[in-house]
A and B are shown apart, each in its own frame.
Chain A
Amino acid sequence: MRKLNYHLDMEHLQKIKQDIVPVLFTEHQFGLIEKKLQTHQLTASEKNEFSRTISRKMKAVYAIMDQQEKDVYAYGKQKMIPSRLILAKKYLQMFARKFKNKHVLISGSFLHSRIFNDIDIFIFSKYDKDDYKEGKFHINYLQEDAHHSLFFASLQKLCLSNRQIEEPLITEKADLDTFLSLYQELGNDLERHFSGVEKTLREFLLQAAYLMMKPLPDSAELRLEVKGILNTRKPLELIKKIVVETLLLGRKKKDTLHSVKELLASYREIIKEYPQHTAYYKEMMEPLNEVMALAG
């Protein structure tokens, strides 16, 4: 059904609505197509209806019209710059030829932003290989299990792919412990003004969205959020708010409060050994103390 994203956009769909409702789709089904194109999360029953009826009808229409473009699937097309989409299709076919029988994706700011550093090409491979640059292209190798990661779940929302992508099943370990670890790492990155802090912040925001059971942001949304936070005078203040919200309202583990309590105790011990860093640790402890105070 993802093919739908590639061939339609909202504006066109609205224009042809009177021609296809109710002849081809019911009003309700049309609403579902709109929802899907806007990358809104569908409920389980809506997904079921989508695959049982809408998807089948669309496939039939495409078959009649013979409109399928070979091995190019675009997701989140409405957010892409049209001229970039045309170029990206060309690049995708070029890299799909180069990396035969591999799943190849193009994603990143090249698709949706006027300003971009390089063009991100993702290659799924059985083997671990180092990323490399080839002119304006940044070749990123991902191992097959990355198909089940939060990173991929976000990536596939706005990308060009040489394979059809089903709704990813996330098996990556993402819980309050991994989230707290990312918070620690983020605090450390910000404290040392580490230039790669954006990557840590992206992971942190993805885990926060996942734990809060919110729709995962696509790469354009994530980029905006990361830039927004890092452009504030005190990024850690916003991050601390996200920590409190996620720990209090997110998917719970039985021993959430116990984990928070233990981390607080560890910070207190470290302060005794490294009193020169008290200000940093106290700041890191703030949202954890707030969680302890607010938890029911």
Chain B
Amino acid sequence: MQVEVFKEEVQRILEAEIKFDGHVTIVISTLTEDKLKNILEWIKECKAGIISPEPCKNYRDFISFIYKSNDNRIRGILTKQKNAFFVELFLDKHKYYDRKRKYLGI
């Protein structure tokens, strides 16, 4: 799947124009189709309210959904404004995920 196609699909599922953070382009272009499908499935579940979000202690207006791939290599954080729209998808390796998590306070 091409990077732009993936991003468009994410925005279509979330029905919002969101920002992308982390080394998203590298992550998307290196993952297999199956792994990208898993991420899209996770985003659908976030949108449908199947997955429970976590409060962001440093940004109290936001909540975040956490994604961890089974092989523990890729991490994702989908951020949403409380009672409103999705704002950002972060996808990256473990180390950058830890930084982002600390930044958001989750």
Which residues of chain A have a CB within 8 Å of any CB of chain B?
128, 130, 173, 177-178, 180-181, 184-185, 188-189, 191-192, 194-196, 199, 259, 262-263, 266-267, 269-270, 273-274, 276-277, 280-281
Contacts and interface: CB of A to CB of B under 8 A. Distances in A.
Interface string B52-77: 11110100100100101010100000
Given A188-B54, A195-B70, A181 B49 contact: no
A184 B82 contact: no
Contacts of B72: 195-196, 199
Contact of A177 (B51, B57, B68, B83): B57
B13 interface: no
21 contacts: A128-B95, A177-B57, A180-B57, A181-B102, A181-B105, A184-B55, A184-B106, A188-B54, A189-B68, A194-B68, A199-B72, A259-B57, A262-B57, A266-B55, A266-B57, A270-B52, A270-B63, A273-B82, A274-B52, A276-B49, A280-B52
Contact of A181 (B51, B52, B68, B101): B101
Nearest to A269: B82
Contacts of B63: 266, 270, 273
A266 B63 CA distance: 9
Contacts of A269: 55, 82
Contacts of A194: 68
Contacts of A273: 63, 82-83
A199 B72 CA distance: 10
Contacts of B52: 188, 191, 270, 274, 277, 280-281
Interface of B: 49, 51-55, 57, 60, 63, 66, 68, 70, 72, 82-83, 93, 95, 101-102, 105-106
A243 to B, nearest CB: 15
Contacts of B70: 195
Contacts of A184: 54-55, 106
Contacts of B95: 128
A49 to B, nearest CB: 39
Contacts of B60: 262, 266
B101 A263 contact: no
Contacts of B66: 185, 188
Interface centre among B68, B70, B95 (most CB of A within 10 A): B68
A191 B72 CA distance: 16
Contacts of A280: 52
Contacts of A189: 68
A277 B106 CA distance: 18
Nearest to B84: A273
A259 B70 CA distance: 32
A61 to B, nearest CB: 44
Contact of A178 (B53, B54, B93, B102): B102
Contacts of B101: 181, 185
Task: Give 3 nearest A-B pairs by CB, closest first.
Answer: A266-B55, A277-B52, A196-B72
B55 to A, nearest CB: 3
Given A181-B101, A269-B82, 12 more contacts: A128-B95, A177-B105, A184-B54, A185-B66, A185-B106, A189-B68, A199-B72, A266-B63, A267-B55, A269-B55, A276-B49, A277-B52
